[in-house]
Amino acid sequence: MALLPGLGGGLFGKTGLSHISADFAPLPGSATGRGPGAPLGAMYLSGSSLVEPTPGDPRVIGKGFNIFRTIDASSDLTGDAIADLIGITPAGDFYLYTSTSTGAIGRGVRLGSGWGAFHTVFSPGDFNGDTRSDLVAVDGLGKLWLYPGNGRGGFGARVGIGTGWAGFGSVLPMRDFSGDGKVDIGAITTDGKLRMYPGNGRGGFLTSSQIGTGWGIFL
């Protein structure tokens, strides 16, 4: 696992390396993160257990999460200033798990179906500037959709905010990486170039830029 701290202005600090002795899939977010702008923590899926690293031993915060093909825990979707978790099954069922300030995860609630059409789903934070965390999703045709959050665990009507995203190997949340107070989105090309798509704070983008190479090892 590699940690590259953001410095603002679209720059990274020195790479730090750590190793977790487990077969795991790293996930964005932290169940104890607070607020829509809370820093991303680190989780990983070990077997069926969702695990959060701590200064001591890693802490199991949930079990049975291997039923999901997509898990994201990077934003507060329910308006309680605590990051929540979403999971999408291979069949396309969408589940929301609320979190507490102690890091405990509540019972999952099925919010919808049909999400199997998307190969990427995550919360970038408040992308449209209404103070509530949103979802973005990339469908099989490469269209990027914004699902505006209502702050109560639900979403408004989706809006198309981009096309041509199917060509990326990965699309990922970056929070406010550019340091301008607005949420950004990153994308890794199939040949390992990292691009930043700075948000304009109104549900759209400013001009993108390449900010790194060699990221193909993370695909």
Range of the domain at 125: 2-218
Residue 101 confidence (pLDDT): 75
Q: Which two tokens stand for residue 175?
A: 């929070």
| Residue 19, SS3 per DSSP | coil
Residue 45 confidence (pLDDT): 82
Number of domains in the chain: 1
Provide the residue count of the chain. Answer: 219
DSSP 175-200: ES-SSSSS-EEEEEETTS-EEEE-B-
Walk along the chain (219 residues) in steps of 10 and give the mean pLDDT of each run.
51 44 46 44 78 79 90 89 91 92 84 95 96 97 98 97 96 93 96 97 97 92
Residue 43 confidence (pLDDT): 74
Residue 35 confidence (pLDDT): 44
Q: Among all chains, which residue has been given the structure tokens 């700075």?
A: 198
pTM of the prediction? 0.82
Residue 7 confidence (pLDDT): 52
**Residues 25 and 72 sit within 8 Å (Cβ to Cβ):** no
**Residues 17 and 1 sit within 8 Å (Cβ to Cβ):** yes
Residue 59 confidence (pLDDT): 82
- Indicate the DSSP class of residue 217: G
Q: Dihedrals φ, ψ of 72, to 5°?
A: -140, 135
Residue 159 confidence (pLDDT): 98
Residue 16 confidence (pLDDT): 43
> What is the distance between the alpha carbons of residues 178 and 199, in angstroms, rounded to a whole number?
9
